[in-house]
Chain A
């Protein structure tokens, strides 16, 4: 199993600013994922954070808006840049277990409100 922590747990930000969310895992994992859950909507994959290479972004998400770092196998950051109220959401990081059943572990999430 994996234990995932995220910082901050919540934040209220002004339009036009940027926020960096940190994700820490208690074990080394190959793949880390960043998701967004906007109010009343489903969970949406933003990107896959790859260690040693650039993140892989899903359709509709770009590096300039959501830069991601993955400096090692236990840590990643997601930055939400030049924020607007539409970025208000819960952001979650997640990892895949390397075990037999491909379980997926989610962090507690970061609740972002942009004014």
Chain B
């Protein structure tokens, strides 16, 4: 059973607009969350993280929001740039245990 789900396999956004990538999880014990970005033929690179004691974490153009009651997190990219076009994975874990990964959302930023 998929414990972390990214229900949108793809997303297209105009350059300069906001990209919102969503992730849902089922295990209420998860307390640490990551977002990765992956370009074709490369391994994923870490983007941003958030722990369950916070509901928002910001790093430049990237902001992750966590809604623990809804078991939902989202990644906002503002403004979106063509170089942001990649596959984005969310991952969740209970601290000290394995990570569970979503299947990814392919983001295309249109110039």
| A interface residues with partner B (beta carbon < 8 Å) | 1, 9, 33, 35, 37, 41-45, 58, 90, 92, 97, 99-106, 108-109, 111
Task: Please report the total number of B residues contacting A with Cβ < 8 Å.
Answer: 20
Contact call B103/A90, Cβ cutoff below 8 A: no
Known: A35-B43, A42-B36. A101 touches B99 (CB 8 A): no
User: Of B36, B43, B44, B98, which is within 8 A of A90 by CB?
Assistant: B98
Contact B103 A111 (CB under 8 A): no
A43 B36 Cβ-Cβ under 8 A = yes
Is A101 touching B89 in the complex (CB atoms < 8 A)? no
Q: Which residues of the other chain, B, contact A37 by a CB distance below 8 angstroms?
A: 99
Name B10's closest neighbour in chain A (CB-CB). A101
The reply to whether B106 and A101 contact each other, CB–CB distance below 8 Å, is yes
Q: Are A43 and B46 in contact, CB atoms less than 8 angstroms apart?
A: yes
Chain A residues whose CB sits within 8 angstroms of the CB of B45 once the complex forms: 42
Whether A108 lies near B46 (C-beta < 8 A) is no
B87 and A104 contact, CB distance less than 8 A: yes
Point out the residue from A33, A41, A100, A104 that lies within 8 Å of B89, measured CB to CB: A104
Contact A42 B103 (CB under 8 A): no
- Could you tell me the distance in whole angstroms from the C-beta of A78 to the nearest C-beta in chain B? 15
In the complex, A33 Cα to B89 Cα: how many Å?
16
Chain A residues near B87 (CB-CB < 8 A): 102-104
Cα A18 to Cα B22 in complex, Å, equals 39
Contact B106–A102 (Cβ < 8 Å): yes
Interface hits, B79-111 → A, CB 8 Å: 87, 89, 97-101, 103-104, 106
